[in-house]
Chain A
Amino acid sequence: MTKAAKLQRRGVLLGAVASPFVIGSARAADSLKAYSIWPENYARPMLEAFEKATGIHVNFIRFSSGEALARLIAEKGNPQVDVLFGGPVETFTAGEDQGIFDAYTPPSAADLPGRFKSTKGMWTAIADDPLVFMTNTAFLKDHGLKPPTSWNDLLNPAYKDMLQMADARTSGTAVTRIFSILQVNNRNEDAAFGYMKKLRKNVQAYTKSGGGGTVPVGLGQAGGGIFFIVDALFTRQKGYNVEISFPKEGIGSAAECIGLVKGSKNTAAAKKLIDWATSPAMQSLLAPAKINFLPANPKVAADPNLAAILKSANIIAIDDKWAGENRKRIVDRWVAEVLNAG
């Protein structure tokens, strides 16, 4: 929003007499608009840096992945934004199926491995985000436990009703988690669901957002959970005593992506943002800003601390194509057999 528009709005606010119809249309649409799935404290420094670099102001609003997608689908006839910024790849593949994106392949895409870009150019990765086990240090000590290093460690009765993790209906974190479990079970669905049903007994709450359980774990209200590394490390940065560990069997990772919204009214600027976000220009800013995503662009090195933590990790690949095709069925099955089993 321009300074002038802001001043005008303040004037109107003071007067509070003008018709809202007039105000609605008087507000100029002179900048790039985006829905961000990244939280504000990650997205804001990035998009401000973009404005500094290009002079294009990005007006954005943050939604969780499910909400952002639902809005984009609902707004198909009258798109309100130009770009969907951040968010796990599964949201983008679902959006691709719904036809909410226009194809655009940024120059950096050429440098990216296959799992970081859509075959049709509908989305491109800007970062990578592995899942981790995060546990409360005091809880582990009280129960004489070590940080879990196997999926089966989480089935320990000591965790009964003490785990928090995300609900697959709203959270990309949860979907990535479920596909990780399928993957370590070699896509044997019955085995994977058998495990999840056993895990269900230890789950205290399935949270709406991927990071929803981090503070309860930090506070000790929950003993542990499965989160994206970016949320886990942020919890630690805030001062909570938590342990981060990885299952030896392997755990998945979600590409964080960007996509051009179909019907964008400012495609030139939108493409500039996509170019910038997929390039080292943005991704080299992540580490200095203490944002613990792994850069997607191979030309940017990961933060040494992050790399150290991930050294012990066995990150496995999830077939995004297979995941996208089976997502609805798997999530429905999870809702029916796991969530509602309690």
Chain B
Amino acid sequence: MPADAAPAFATPGALGPGRLIGAGGMLGLWLLLLLFIVYPLAMLLVRAFYDGGHLALGPLLSTIESPNNLRALRNSLLLALLVGVAGTVIGLVFAFTAERANLGRRAGRLIDFATLLPLISPPFTTSIAFVFSFGPRGLITYDLFGIGNIQVYGLTSTFAAETITYFPIAYLALRPMLASISSSFEEASFSLGGSRWHAFRTVTLPLIIPALANAFLLLFGCSLADFATPLILAGSDFPVLPTEAYLQITGMFDLRSGAILSLLLLVPAGLVYYVQDRFVAGRSYVTVTGKAATASRRDAVSPMARIVLVLACILMTTVILYFYALLFYASIVMAFGANSTLTLQHYRVIFTEGLPAIEDTLFIALIGMPLGGLYGIVVGYLVGRTRFTGRKAMEVISMLNYALPGTIVGIAYLLAFNDKPLALTGTATILIACYVFRYSPTGIRTTIALLQQIDRSMEEASASLGANTVTTFRRVMLPLILPAFFAGLGVVFIRSMTAISATIFLVSINWTLITVKILENMTEVALGPAAAFSVFVIVVVLVVTGLLNLALKRLTAPSLRVSRIGT
């Protein structure tokens, strides 16, 4: 019987109470998806294409035909492609080094910490550190190397900053996959006379292709949607779409062309998603089968390669730590580059004037976290494990808010929820909904990826032992996808603390956010408070994710402890 033709976990049988609950839950889920994803986007499209009740394609055509916008589209694609490839490669190097190169415990910890930092940082931190470090009077280019005639703005630094910011996502996506691949595969190849490199190329690499594709997609999407980094670093010669769209809307008050510009981004995002889906869907690499594999061997690389890998990781780690040291330094001096007197004044400012923002942000993050975690695994489970009409639609819809540039999501929410009957602007609900529906796709994808590795026979075994679908989910699947749940929790919390592009439009008099304060301080070049806020956010996120990791460790079996809370 062809395995790919097997019907899904179709439990034959009559309507039971579980079914009714399921049907009700499904209906509720669809309502939420329609309300918080489809409806706002529809409102945005209406605003973009309709003029006084008529379809108006003029603005669309002129926006698409504008050579400047085409240049921005090309730049965005180029940037996303570069960041996707470079970030995936660096993430793979880190993951492979961590899993296979027999790192020391301490070096491993350091790398873990360094890769965590960009994930939990508020926007602009890397960009600002770049501006200080490179350029005509940069700490590195001028003070260290004496190069004065160099520009920091443009493709190179935007690409580098985004890669540093986003590669940990690839690292986190790839590491569990590498950990779950029994090194016996590599040993098998090694024993067949192949070199270790050959083993890696012909065995490990093909096995993690789905994970690589997934990592690439994540990074590509992040880069496509990122407006914060290009805003600071792209300069005027390298316009990219999200920044252009943001400026169109915030600066030119031109919602329509801003909307159209960012809708252009949907094309490449959708295309990559489609390719990845086709690419990965054709291959099934079931590795968690219930037949527990032995722990992976940790010396799958030659001593020479090991040194190269470790050095590469240490170098990257040093760069990251340097950036954050710079950030911390900026938070404790009076004025960076002008007055180096040590002071706690910036921290005093954020805990007095900034306190409402801190309270609001924590409140929203703590409410959104469990909701997002739950939403992530429920949708992930439904999409990854069950068959129902509209499953594909649900998968695509659930990814939309994530794939779209935040600016667009923010504006769409603003348009959709400003008026009755759903006047949510000014409430915490709109911020929480925005975070949950925008940042849970990581949880969804992690769940799907984990599920792809969990053989269907797990559920069948449970069913054969008398457990119904709900019991099976609760007692078998839930513990197995718990890492995804915690990953979902972590991401929603981290993003609630650090994201800005969408929510900048949704903050209100009643509810404001730390990140918006940081942006405000950055643009007004009040670097001290901006840095102090950033340090505070990083510390809070470190503490909360640390607690989540602890909980995850206590709750999951040792054999499953491969995942880490991050993005």
Contacts and interface: CB of A to CB of B under 8 A. Distances in A.
Contacts of A207: 523
B236 interface: yes
Interface string B308-345: 00000000000000000000000000111111000000
Given A94-B253, A218-B338, A162 B359 contact: no
Given A23-B428, A342-B236, 7 more contacts: A13-B362, A13-B363, A41-B526, A204-B151, A209-B523, A218-B337, A220-B137
B147 interface: no
B423 interface: yes
Contact of A221 (B152, B363, B526): B152
Residue from the set B334, B337, B525 with the largest chain A CB neighbour count within 10 Å: B525
Interface in B510-567: 510, 512, 516, 520, 523-527
Interface stretch (B159-167, B243-251, B372-380, B477-485): B243-251
A271 interface: no
Contacts of B132: 219, 221
B108 interface: no
Contacts of A216: 131, 135
28 contacts: A10-B359, A16-B367, A20-B364, A20-B432, A23-B428, A24-B427, A24-B510, A25-B427, A29-B510, A39-B520, A59-B509, A61-B508, A63-B520, A70-B250, A74-B418, A74-B505, A75-B425, A78-B419, A169-B248, A169-B251, A169-B252, A171-B251, A205-B153, A219-B336, A239-B334, A240-B337, A339-B236, A340-B68
Interface string B383-416: 0000000000000000000000000000100110
B235 interface: yes
Contact of B235 (A44, A170, A204): A204
Contacts of A80: 425-426, 508-509
Interface string B225-260: 000000100011101000000011111110100000
Contacts of A221: 131-132, 135-138, 152
A282 interface: no
B353 interface: yes
B36 to A, nearest CB: 13
Given A16-B367, A20-B429, A39-B526, A60 B520 contact: no
Interface in A37-89: 39-41, 44, 59-64, 66-67, 69-71, 73-75, 77-78, 80-81
Contacts of A342: 236-237
Contact of B247 (A13, A40, A71, A170): A170
Nearest to B504: A67
B429 A21 contact: yes
A309 interface: no
Given A70-B250, A203-B236, A239 B509 contact: no
B131 to A, nearest CB: 7
Given A71-B505, A169-B248, A221-B152, A238 B520 contact: no
Contacts of A214: 525
A288 B504 CA distance: 33
A78 B425 contact: yes
A75 B524 contact: no
B356 interface: yes
Contacts of B170: none
- On chain A, which size bracket covers the interface? 35 or more
State the 9 A-B residue pairs at the shortest beta-carbon distance, nearest first.
Answer: A24-B427, A169-B251, A170-B251, A239-B338, A220-B137, A209-B523, A215-B525, A239-B339, A66-B251
Contact of B250 (A44, A67, A161, A328): A67
B359 A9 contact: yes
A12 B520 contact: no
A1 to B, nearest CB: 7
B415 A74 contact: yes
B366 interface: yes
A220 B509 CA distance: 37
A243 B419 CA distance: 49
B344 to A, nearest CB: 17
Interface in A90-113: 94, 98
Contacts of A123: none
A239 B364 CA distance: 38
A12 B338 CA distance: 43
Nearest to B134: A221
A12 B360 CA distance: 11
Given A74-B418, A208-B247, A20 B236 contact: no
B48 interface: no
A229 B428 CA distance: 38
